[in-house]
Amino acid sequence: MQNILTTVQANTTAPRDKGSAACHQAPQIDLDGYPLVVIVGSPNVGKSVLFNRLTGAYVTVSNYPGTTVEVTRGKTRLGGQEIGVLDTPGMYNLLPITEEERVASAILLNERPAAVIHVIDAKNLERMLPMTLQLIEAGLPLILAVNLMDEAELLGICIDIPALEQRLGIPCVGAAFASGRGSPEIRHAIEARVNLGRLAVKAMPGLVDYPGELEAAIQQVSELLEPGYPIAQRGMAILLLQGDPETLNQINNCQPEGADAIRRALADAQQIYRQPLSFVIANAQRQSALRIIGGLFKVNQPARSTFSAQLSNAMLRPLTGIPILLLVVFLLYEFVGVFGAQTLVEWLETHLFENWINPGIDGWLAIWVPWPALRSLIGGDFGVVTLGLRYAFAIILPIVGVFFIAFSIIEDSGYLPRLALMIDRLFKKIGLNGRAVIPLVLGFGCDTMATITTRTLETRRERVISTLLLSLAIPCSAQIGVMLALLTGYPFLLPAWLAVVSGVFLLVGYLTAKLMPGEKPSFYMELPPLRLPRARNILVKTYTRMEWYLREVFPLFIAASVVIWLGNLTGLFDLAVHALLPLVRWLDLPDQTAVAFLFGFFRRDYGAAGLYDLRASLSASQLLVAVVTMTLFVPCIAQFAVTIKERGWKTALGMAAFIFPFALLVGGALNTFLQWISFGK
């Protein structure tokens, strides 16, 4: 654990936007001055497993393209030398599509690593080698790790690694990092590479055969580039010809005088071909990859149909896929809603806090702390320990922890992409694509974390829509836990609440998609094979997420307790409650619910818990109105802060300005409707 030096938020690491793009600086080292090794590759090839093997550190090992939201750094010791290691989000090639891929390629192109390890899937050598070729042509100090050799061998695939090494002209290692195979070899290769120092790799002549005119254009553009860019001129030229806007930006910043000539050369080159140059280049790289693996990639037996393949097929068809989805939701409910939110919470809250800790604290305070104000800061109804810590440890921790365990299992099994393809058509109606199901499902655990994950979506429109829906209509697990306990007291309340909230989710999504102009979303996704989750990975991931949760969200908890204490002490709270009273009365709710709504500003679940305490004085219809309004009500402070950070002030305030009155409006409409049908009277 101590090996994780820093976990850098992806969007703050080496941004490639204009102004900060690297021209001539040469940091070949990580933050602490060690030589830096960067691990790159497509999603699901075992980058994070290799990272763990190298550093022994615990990081999130993802089976899903897009959930490695953060870039993780660690360090290792090779041949008596400290070496920094950096794990990047998955990317398919050097031209990024999503923000995450942009981060990965920015790290590669700007950080000047001492070694780059490209991890690829042995089974898909043909499809992954073009990126290796791009990296070689970029002059990066590359080592190729052909991972998942064990999976490939099960399929009868045989790869001649020494021949591959010879043809590519870079060190290649055959590996199955999950079982440790190839680890010593890769360490050795890194050590050798780091000792070479800053010597750039030169691509062997003719490694990639581009058509004649294109090759001429590559050379022409390379010659127009000044030396000193972080990657080789040839690699820069190829990126420029592929139309990479960020590389062009970099040129504009670093050699403004020469930029015009370069742009002209690019336009001239495009004139020669009827297809986009990026396509011509991709084709040439693929043909070269095929030539290179010719004769060294053999398949000795046809693939067999396994149980996991059959299960996967069943998940792809609505007829079997929807029952599987319902089963997953049911199991999730049983595990999180019943086991976590009821059994565990009951035990921790009633036994641990109410019987032991709270009376103990209050008793201790009564004896040792003579000042009532300080006493009420720590203990009593709203104290930091008796309220803040109790909520955090007895309610939130078990529910959120259990949810994260369940989410990690679902994630590692490879089910999420299959869920995404099943739900894509519905999501298109609300301006999203199937991929957005990941942040939204994660939102049921923690909306704050999910808001950060919306980064993996491609267009700004999709990011805004999903952030809005997370703020409005996705209750987090802490809130759901309390609400389930509230709603199961009466029949029909739970389905009614579900119907109203999902209705609002779809309606608001649909209207936002209609009102917000922008690109139509498109859905494409690689489906990783279904894999049996490994217990160690699940625990590590859950631990990492819990650690994040405690670090990012927990302090706000305590802060909220202090604010509530201050508010009570100064009488500001009474003012705020008075301001809320007309709204609460308009919803036909008792005055005390104003306090719960006020708490809802601080934490979604505080609000729900406040209602829970009032449940005896509420009728069934009042309960439904209150819970629906509370669900839709403003996001918690942590989520709002993250929304500002991710989407900007204007968007975040705009969302709040919409959500607050809208939640009350839905509550009011629901109340009117319930009275009209005389529900619960």
Partner 1 sequence: MKINERAQEQLELLWILSEETSNEPAASPGQLEDYRELVEAGLVILDGERVRLSATGKHEAAMAIRRHRLAERLFVDVLATDDSLIDEKACTLEHALFDGVDETICTLLGHPVVCPHGKPIPPGRCCEQGRASLSPIIAPLKDIKRGQGGKIAYLQMADSQRLHKLMAMGILPGVSIQVKETYPSVVFEAGYSQFAVDDEIAGDIFVRLAG
In whole angstroms, the minimum distance from the beta carbon of 123 to partner 1 comes to 4
Helix (H, G, I), strand (E, B) or coil at 184: helix
- Would you say 28 or 278 has its CB closer to partner 1? 278
Q: How far is CA 440 from CA 396, 465, 501, 621, in A?
A: 19, 11, 14, 28
In whole angstroms, the minimum distance from the beta carbon of 35 to partner 1 comes to 30
Nearest Cα neighbor of 633 from 592, 676, 674, 584 is 584
CA dist 673 and 270 (Å) reads 63
210 belongs to the binding site for partner 1 (CB under 8 A)? no
In whole angstroms, the minimum distance from the beta carbon of 326 to partner 1 comes to 16
424 belongs to the binding site for partner 1 (CB under 8 A)? yes
In whole angstroms, the minimum distance from the beta carbon of 462 to partner 1 comes to 13
311 belongs to the binding site for partner 1 (CB under 8 A)? no
What is the Cα Rg of the chain in Å?
28
Using CB under 8 A, which of the segments 167-175, 279-287, 488-496, 658-666 binds partner 1?
Answer: 279-287
526 belongs to the binding site for partner 1 (CB under 8 A)? yes
Using CB under 8 A, which of the segments 233-241, 273-281, 379-387, 485-493 binds partner 1?
Answer: 273-281
Residues of this chain, 134-163, that bind partner 1 according to CB under 8 A = 152, 155
In whole angstroms, the minimum distance from the beta carbon of 454 to partner 1 comes to 19
208 belongs to the binding site for partner 1 (CB under 8 A)? no
* Triad 231, 100, 438: Cα angle to 5°: 160
E-assigned strands of 155-296?
157-159, 172-174
278 belongs to the binding site for partner 1 (CB under 8 A)? yes
60 belongs to the binding site for partner 1 (CB under 8 A)? no
Nearest Cα neighbor of 402 from 302, 457, 469, 481 is 481
- In this structure, what DSSP letter does residue 17 have? S
Using CB under 8 A, which of the segments 274-282, 477-485, 633-641, 672-680 binds partner 1?
Answer: 274-282
Element spanning 124, H or E: none
Structure tokens at 44: 């699901």
For residue 366, the number of C-alpha atoms closer than 13 Å in the C-beta half-sphere is 7
Helical packing angle, 477-487 and 604-614, nearest 10°:
20
Using CB under 8 A, which of the segments 323-331, 373-381, 488-496, 519-527 binds partner 1?
Answer: 519-527
Residues of this chain, 218-247, that bind partner 1 according to CB under 8 A = 243
518 belongs to the binding site for partner 1 (CB under 8 A)? no
Binding mask 102-121 for partner 1 (x = CB under 8 A): -------------------x
In whole angstroms, the minimum distance from the beta carbon of 269 to partner 1 comes to 16
- In this structure, what DSSP letter does residue 204 have? P
DSSP 32-49: TS-BEEEEE-STTSSHHH
Given candidates 12, 20, 81, 97, which one binds partner 1 under the rule CB under 8 A? 97
CA dist 66 and 468 (Å) reads 20
In whole angstroms, the minimum distance from the beta carbon of 674 to partner 1 comes to 36
In whole angstroms, the minimum distance from the beta carbon of 463 to partner 1 comes to 16
How far does Cα 469 stand from its chain's mean position?
A: 16
Using CB under 8 A, which of the segments 159-167, 254-262, 517-525, 631-639 binds partner 1?
Answer: 517-525
Cβ-proximal residues to 654 (8 Å cutoff; 6+ apart), any chain:
none
Q: How far is CA 170 from CA 42, 140, 286, 580, in A?
A: 19, 11, 18, 68
279 belongs to the binding site for partner 1 (CB under 8 A)? yes
Residue 37 β-bridge partners = 85, 115
433 belongs to the binding site for partner 1 (CB under 8 A)? yes
In whole angstroms, the minimum distance from the beta carbon of 282 to partner 1 comes to 4
In whole angstroms, the minimum distance from the beta carbon of 113 to partner 1 comes to 22
- Residue with token string 């069943």: 314
- Residue with token string 């981060």: 103
Cβ-proximal residues to 511 (8 Å cutoff; 6+ apart), any chain:
none
- Would you say 424 or 605 has its CB closer to partner 1? 424
In whole angstroms, the minimum distance from the beta carbon of 317 to partner 1 comes to 6
- Would you say 121 or 412 has its CB closer to partner 1? 121
Edge-to-edge strand ranges of the sheet holding 71-78: 7-8, 71-78, 81-87, 36-40, 115-121, 142-147, 172-174
CA dist 151 and 155 (Å) reads 7
CA dist 251 and 236 (Å) reads 9
Given candidates 181, 188, 263, 286, which one binds partner 1 under the rule CB under 8 A? 286
Binding mask 369-408 for partner 1 (x = CB under 8 A): ----------------------------------------
In whole angstroms, the minimum distance from the beta carbon of 168 to partner 1 comes to 18
421 belongs to the binding site for partner 1 (CB under 8 A)? yes
Nearest Cα neighbor of 229 from 145, 139, 115, 357 is 139
166 belongs to the binding site for partner 1 (CB under 8 A)? no
Given candidates 203, 525, 594, 618, which one binds partner 1 under the rule CB under 8 A? 525
Using CB under 8 A, which of the segments 56-64, 277-285, 329-337, 637-645 binds partner 1?
Answer: 277-285
Given candidates 103, 128, 387, 402, which one binds partner 1 under the rule CB under 8 A? 128
Nearest Cα neighbor of 450 from 127, 148, 18, 69 is 69
Contact 452, 641 (CB under 8 A): no
Helix (H, G, I), strand (E, B) or coil at 373: helix
**How many residues make contact with partner 1 (CB under 8 A)?**
46
Spell 58-85 as b/e; 16+ CB within 10 A means b: bbbbbbbbbbbbbbbbbbbebeeeebbb
283 belongs to the binding site for partner 1 (CB under 8 A)? yes
527 belongs to the binding site for partner 1 (CB under 8 A)? yes
Q: Kind of pairing, strands 157-159 and 81-87?
A: unpaired
276 belongs to the binding site for partner 1 (CB under 8 A)? yes
The two most distant CA atoms of the chain are separated, in Å, by 89
In whole angstroms, the minimum distance from the beta carbon of 422 to partner 1 comes to 6
Using CB under 8 A, which of the segments 127-135, 219-227, 362-370, 575-583 binds partner 1?
Answer: 127-135
- List of residues contacting partner 1 (CB under 8 A): 92-93, 95, 97, 121, 123-124, 126-128, 130, 152, 155, 243, 274-276, 278-279, 282-283, 286, 303, 312-313, 316-318, 417, 420-425, 428, 433-434, 519-520, 522-527
